[in-house]
Structure 1
Amino acid sequence: MSASGGSVRELTALLSALGDARHPNPAHAAQLHARLIVSAGARPDPHPDPVLLTQLVSLYAAAGRLADALRAFRAHLATANLRTYAVLVSALARPRPGLAFSLFSGACRGLLPSPHLVSAVLAACAGLPTICGRQVHACATKFVPPRDVFVYTGLVDVYAKAGDMAASRKVFDEMPSRGAASWNALLVGYARNKMCLKALSVFRELAGQGREVPLDQVSVSGVLSACSWAGNVDFGRQVHACAAKVGLELDVVCVSNGLLDMYTRCGCSREALVLFDAMDHRDVITWNIVICACIHESRFKEACMLFQSMVRDGVVPDDVSFATVLQASACMLSWALGASIHASVIKTGFLDSDGIASSLITMYSKCGSLDDALRAFQLAKDRLCVMSWTAMITALQQNGHGVQAVGMFEKMLENCIPPDHITFVSVLSSCSHSGLIEQGRRYFNSMTQVHNITPSTEHYACMVDMFGRAGLLSEAKQLIDQMNVKPDASVLGALLSACMNCRDLEIGEEVAKKLFVIEPGNSGNYVLLANIYASHGRLEEAKEVRRWMMFQELRKEKGRSLVNKKLATCLTYIQLNRFLHTQGFMNIPAMDSARYDPNHM
C-alpha cells in the first residue's frame, strides 16, 4: 500500500490479474499482502490506497480465506470505501449473514449506501429475520432509485423467501420497469409458498409480455412446480407447449425434469413415460423422479428395476436414490434386496445421510429383522437426528415392543432431540397398544404445552383408540367433542372400534352413519356395526347391514401373507452376509425384548 503512484498502479494490475483467475491460490493472496506492506517502507501505511485494499479483500475472499479478508479490512477500516464494504458483505452473505448485515449497518453510519452494497446485503437477508429485509428496504427507498431493477428484484426475492408474498407483490408492482429476473422472483416465490393459483396467474402475465420478457428455464420450472402442487395437469400441458415452442423442452434438463415431475404427480403415467423415453440426457434427479412415481403407484418391483437401469447407464445414485429404493424393498418385504442396497450404501459413502439411516431402520424392521434395525440406529454417526430416532421408535412400536418404544422416546428427550408430529404418532400408538394411559395423556398434553405442536387428526385417532382399548368410551367421546378440527374417518373409525370394544350400541349407530357418508366404500365400518348388533342379540339388524353390504357389492378384505418364493442363491446370501458381518450386521433369529431396552444401549 505504497504512497508511490507507480507502485500503486503496478500492484493494482497484479491484484487484478490474480483476482481474475478462476481458482485463486490462497498463498498468492498472502504473498501479495506481504508485498504491499513491505513496499510501504517496512511498516504498514496508516493510509493505504482504497483501491488496493478493495482488491486485496476481494482476492482473499475469492481464495476462500474470509478470516484474512476480515483482518485486512479491520486493519485499515478508516480508508475502506463503499466498494470495499460491498465486496466483503457479498463474500459473507451466505456463510455468515449476521456479520454481513452488521458490516452493512456500519457502512450506513458513515457512508451513503450504494446500490451495489444494498444488493450485496440482500443476499444475506434470506438467512435473517424479516425485520432485516424491511430495514434494507427502507434504506433502498432513500438512496436507491426505483429504476434500479437489480436491487428491487432482490427485495422481491427477499420478501418471497420470508413468506411475505403481499410485500413481495407490492414491491414488484411499484417497479417502473421489470426484467425477466423480476418476474421469476415473484413467480418462484408464489410457487415456493404453495400459492399455486397466484403462480399460474403470474405466468399468464409473463407469457403475455411476448418478446419483451422472454420465457426462460427458471420461469418454466417455477410454474411447473406450481402445477405439480396444484394438480393442474391441463395448465401443465399448456406450459409444456410453451416450453417446446421456445426450445426449452428437452434441451434443458431442469425443464424436462420439471415436466416429468408434473406429469408423475398428476397421475399421467403414460405421458411421463413418453417424455422419459424421449429425453437424451437423464441425470440422477430424472431417475429419482420416475422411481418415486413407481413407489407412489405401488409398483415396487419396477422401481427396483429402474434403479438397476440407472446404475447400468452410469448415473451415480445419490442419497435420495438409495432412500427411495430402500423404501421399495421395505414395501416388498425383501430383506435380501435391502441388504444388498445397504452394502452399496456403505461402499459409496452415503451412510452418514439422515435419510439413509432412517430408511435402513425402516427397511430392516418391516422385513422382521429388528436386530439389524437396531444396529443401523446404533451405527448411525449422526444420531442427533429426529428422523433416525422416529424411525427406531416406529420400528419398535410396529414390532410389538411398545414399552421399549416409549423408553426410546424418553431417551430421545434426554438427548435434547425435539420430536416432531410423526414421532408423537408412534409414541401415542405405542401407549395405546401397551395400555399406558397416563403416559399417553401426558405426552398428548406436552405436544402443545412443551413442544408447540398442534395435534392433528392422527394424534386424536391414537388417543381415541387408546381410550377405547382401556374401556374409557366417555373420555374418548369427550376428546372428540373438544377437537378444534372436524373429526375425519380415522378418528371416527377409532371411536367405532371403541364402541365395539365397550359394546355401546347407541354411540356406535351414530358414528357408523357418519362413516357411511364419509367413506361409503369401506367395508370394515359395516362389519363393525354388524358385530355390535350381534353382540346385543339384534341379529336381524346385523343381517340387514350385511345385506346392504352385498347390495353395494362390498366385501370384507381377506387377510393374506406374503411368501417370497424366489430367494437369492445360497452363494449370494453367503457373500452378502460376510460383507455385512464386517460392518456389524447379521440376522439373529432369537428375539429378546431386553435387547431393545434403551437403558442397555
Structure 2
Amino acid sequence: MNSSKQFCLSLLSKCKTLKSTKQVQAYVHKTGLDTDPLVAGKLLLHCAISISDALDYARRLFLHFPNPDVFMYNALIRGLAESETPQNSLLTFIEMRRKSVFLPDSFSFAFILKGVANYRSLRDGVQLHCQALCHGLDTHLFVGTTLISLYAECGRVDFAKQVFEEMSEPNVVTWNATVTACFRCMDVEGAEGLFSQMPFRNLTSWNVMLAGYTKAGEVQLARQAFSDMPIKDDVSWSTMVVGFAHNGLFDEAFGFFRELHRERIKPSEVSLTSVLSACADAGAFEFGKILHGFIEKAGFLQIISVNNALMDAYSKCGNVGMARLVFQSMTVRRSIVSWTSMLAGLEMHGHGDEAVQLFHEMEESGIRPDGITFISLLYACSHAGLIEQGCAYFHKMKNSYSVEPAMEHYGCMVDLYGRAGRLQKAYEFVCQMPISPNAIIWRTLLGACSFHGNIELAKLVKERLSELDPNNSGDHVLLSNIYAVAGKWRDVATVRRSMTDRRIQKSPGWSMIEVDKVMCSFVAGERQNKITEEAYDKLTEIMSKLRVEVGYVPEVRSVLHDIEGEEKENSVSRHSEKLAVAFGIAKLPKGRTIRIVKNLRVCGDCHSMMKLISKVYRIEIVVRDRSRFHLFKDGFCSCRDYW
C-alpha cells in the first residue's frame, strides 16, 4: 500500500463528522485515489456506518461509482439496514442482483437479513432464505445466525430452531442467538432446554438467560441464574437492575445496584443509566439524589447519556428544578436527547411557556428538532392551553423541518383541542386525519368528553373504540363514570353488565411513595398489613380534620348508586393515593415534599382532597399519575383541574 493511500485511510478513520469526511473526500479526489476500490469502498462504508447523519450522502456518493463492487454494495446495504428505513436495504440488494456482475456473498445476505428483521417481514425473509440456500450460504455461520434472529423477530421460533438444527457446527454466538429467539417468542422452556444442552457457554450466554427471564417476568428464575453465574460483568448487574425495575420490584432493583457498589465493581455508563431509569420509573427521588452525588464524585458527568438519564430521573421524580439545574450545568455539548429530555420534563409539569422558550433556545443553538421533540412541545402547549401556538408548531414541524406527522403528533393535537373544550373541532380533526386513527386517539377524545361532560359525543367515540379495542377496561369505566356523573344510572348498569358479560376486569390502582429510601406500595382495597394499618389510621385522622376545618365531603358522584352513602364514602376513601399521602404525612419529616407515583389517573375526589391537604397541612404534594404531574400547594393544583 503506497503512502498516499495509507495516509487517506488513516485520516478517514479519525473523521467524526460529515464535514471532516467531505474534506478527506476532496483530498482523495485531488490525488486521484477515488478510482481505487479500497479507498472508495472505505469512504463509502465510513459515511454509511460511522457518521450518524451521513447515510444520504453515502447514497449520493454511491451513484458516482460506475461499477460498484460487492464491498460497496454491502456497505450501503448495511447502512440502510440499520437506518430508520430498513426497507430501502432490500431495494439496494435487488439492484445489486440486477445490475452487478458480482454475486452476493455471506456479508450481503447477513446485512440484508438484518434489514428485513428490522422491519419484520416474514415474506421477504423467507424469500431471502431461499436465495441464500441457492447460493449455498444458508448454513454459513454468519448467515445462519442472522436468519435465526430474523425468524425470532417475526415470531417464528419453529423456523429459527429448524435453521439452527440444520447448521453442522454452530458456535456459541449461534447458540446464544437461538436461546434469545426462544425468549423473544416467549418459549421459556425451549430456551432453558437449549441452555442446558450448550456444549460451551460464555458470559453472554448467562446474560441472555438473565435478560430473557426478566423480560418474561420470571424474576425468581433470573435471581437463581444470577446466583449460579461463575462470573458476572457490568451487563449482568445492569440486566438485574433493569429487569427487576421493569417488573415493579424497585427495592430489589436498587438492592442489586447497592450490592454492585459493595462488590467494588465500577459501574459503567450502562448500569448508571439503568439504575437512573429505575429511579425515574419508581419516582425514587431520594435514591436519585444519592446517585447524583456518586456520579459527580466518580466523574461520570462528562458522559452525555448519564446527564440525560439524570435529567429524566429528576423530572419523573417530580423535581423539574433539579432537572433544569443538571441541564444548565452540563459541560459536554448537549445532544438532541438532552434538549428533548428537558423539554419533556417541562411538559410533564405543565410549564408550557418555559417549554416554548427552551424550544427557541434549541433552535438558536443549531440543534435540529426531530419528531420526538415535537411530541413534547405539542403536549407542553396542550397542558398550558397554548392552542394557537400548538397549531403553529404542528404546521411548522412539516413545513420547516420536514418531519412527517406520526400518530403521536395527531394525538397531541386531539389532546390540545380536547383540553380547551373544543370537542367538535377535535372530532373533526380525527375524522380528517390522513392516517387511520388508532384506539389511543379515540381514547384521548373520550377523556376530553368525560371532563367536559359531553355524553352524546362520548357515546359516538366509545362506538369507534369498541371496534378497535373492545375489551379495554379503562374505556368502559370512563364511559360508566360519564353516565354516573350525569345521573344516568340505567346506562351505568348497562356498561357494567357489559363488562361482566365479557369478563372485563378493571385494573387495580396502586400508588408508591419513597420513605427512608424504601419504596412503599399501596393497592386499592388490599388486605391490611402493618404498613397499611398505619396508613388507614392516619387517613381517618386526616379526613376528620378536613371535615371539621374546611368542610370536606367525599365526592361520590361516580360511585355506583345502588350502595349506601357511607359505603360510597368508604369506597373512595380506600383509593391508593390517599393511603400513600397519609403514610407520607405519618412517616416523613414535617415540611418534606410528599412524592407519589400512581399507575392510573387520579380520580376527582382524590384530586380535591389533595388540594385541601396541601392547604390545611401546609405541605407540597407531587403526584405523578398516568396522565401527568400534579403539584398541590396552598390548595391549588398545577394542572388547573384538568388532567
TM, length-normalised to structure 2 = 0.62
Instruction: Say whether 1:498 aligns with 2:448.
Output: yes
Is the contact made by 2:304 and 2:334 (CA closer than 8 Å) also made in structure 1?
Answer: no
Residues 164-198 of structure 1 deviation map (CA, whole Å, 9 limit, x = unaligned): 95575354122136553243354266269x3342x
**1:214 is matched by which residue type in structure 2?**
E
Match of 1:221?
Answer: 176
Instruction: Say whether 1:242 aligns with 2:194.
Output: yes
**2:431 is matched by which residue type in structure 1?**
D
Per-residue deviation, 1:342: 1.5
Match of 2:165?
Answer: 207
| Equivalent runs, 1:168-567 vs 2, <5 Å | 168-169=128-129, 171-176=131-136, 179-184=139-144, 186-187=146-147, 190=150, 194-197=153-156, 201-209=159-167, 213-228=168-183, 231-234=184-187, 236-248=188-200, 251-484=201-434, 487-512=437-462, 517-520=470-473, 524-534=477-487, 538=488, 541=491, 557=575, 559-560=577-578, 561-562=580-581, 563=584
Are residues 119 and 441 of structure 1, via their aligned partners in 2, closer, same or farther at CA, if it must alter by over 3 Å? Answer: closer
Structure with bigger gyration radius: 1
Instruction: Say whether 1:126 aligns with 2:78.
Output: yes
Residues 230-289 of structure 1 deviation map (CA, whole Å, 9 limit, x = unaligned): x4222x5324423432323xx311222222222222223233232222211211112222
Q: Which moved more, 1:56-65 or 1:300-309?
A: 56-65
Determine the C-alpha separation between the residues in 1 that align with 2:371 and 2:12.
Answer: 40
**1:297 is matched by which residue type in structure 2?**
N
Residues 294-347 of structure 1 deviation map (CA, whole Å, 9 limit, x = unaligned): 121111111111111122234322222111211222344333321221222233
Is the contact made by 1:292 and 1:303 (CA closer than 8 Å) also made in structure 2?
Answer: yes
Are residues 482 and 268 of structure 1, via their aligned partners in 2, closer, same or farther at CA, if it must alter by over 3 Å? Answer: farther
**1:201 is matched by which residue type in structure 2?**
F
Name structure 1 gaps, 5 residues minimum: 1-52, 569-588, 592-601
Determine the C-alpha separation between the residues in 2 that align with 1:452 and 1:102.
Answer: 20
Is the contact made by 1:431 and 1:466 (CA closer than 8 Å) also made in structure 2?
Answer: yes
Are residues 170 and 349 of structure 1, via their aligned partners in 2, closer, same or farther at CA, if it must alter by over 3 Å? Answer: farther
TM, length-normalised to structure 1 = 0.66
Are residues 62 and 242 of structure 1, via their aligned partners in 2, closer, same or farther at CA, if it must alter by over 3 Å? Answer: farther
Per-residue deviation, 1:440: 1.8
Determine the C-alpha separation between the residues in 2 that align with 1:490 and 1:284.
Answer: 38
- Helix, strand or coil for the counterpart of 2:300? coil
Determine the C-alpha separation between the residues in 2 that align with 1:449 and 1:102.
Answer: 24
Is the contact made by 1:509 and 1:529 (CA closer than 8 Å) also made in structure 2?
Answer: no
**2:237 is matched by which residue type in structure 1?**
W
Determine the C-alpha separation between the residues in 2 that align with 1:281 and 1:566.
Answer: 41
Residues 416-448 of structure 1 deviation map (CA, whole Å, 9 limit, x = unaligned): 433344333322222222221122222233444
Determine the C-alpha separation between the residues in 1 that align with 2:313 and 2:175.
Answer: 37
**1:302 is matched by which residue type in structure 2?**
E
- Structure with the higher fraction of residues in strand conformation: 2
Determine the C-alpha separation between the residues in 1 that align with 2:285 and 2:14.
Answer: 49
Give the % identical residues.
25
Is the contact made by 2:473 and 2:505 (CA closer than 8 Å) also made in structure 1?
Answer: no
Determine the C-alpha separation between the residues in 1 that align with 2:137 and 2:444.
Answer: 58
Is the contact made by 2:292 and 2:310 (CA closer than 8 Å) also made in structure 1?
Answer: yes
Residues 451-475 of structure 1 deviation map (CA, whole Å, 9 limit, x = unaligned): 4545454433332232223221111
Determine the C-alpha separation between the residues in 2 that align with 1:102 and 1:490.
Answer: 39
**1:510 is matched by which residue type in structure 2?**
L
Alignment RMSD: 4.7
Determine the C-alpha separation between the residues in 2 that align with 1:444 and 1:65.
Answer: 40
**1:223 is matched by which residue type in structure 2?**
T
Determine the C-alpha separation between the residues in 1 that align with 2:128 and 2:484.
Answer: 58
Determine the C-alpha separation between the residues in 2 that align with 1:63 and 1:447.
Answer: 37
Determine the C-alpha separation between the residues in 2 that align with 1:66 and 1:487.
Answer: 47
Are residues 177 and 437 of structure 1, via their aligned partners in 2, closer, same or farther at CA, if it must alter by over 3 Å? Answer: closer
Name structure 2 gaps, 5 residues minimum: 16-23, 49-53, 81-87, 118-123, 507-570, 590-630, 634-643
Are residues 270 and 380 of structure 1, via their aligned partners in 2, closer, same or farther at CA, if it must alter by over 3 Å? Answer: same
Determine the C-alpha separation between the residues in 1 that align with 2:490 and 2:47.
Answer: 74
| Equivalent runs, 1:18-97 vs 2, <5 Å | 53=1, 95=46
**1:491 is matched by which residue type in structure 2?**
I
- Helix, strand or coil for the counterpart of 1:424? helix
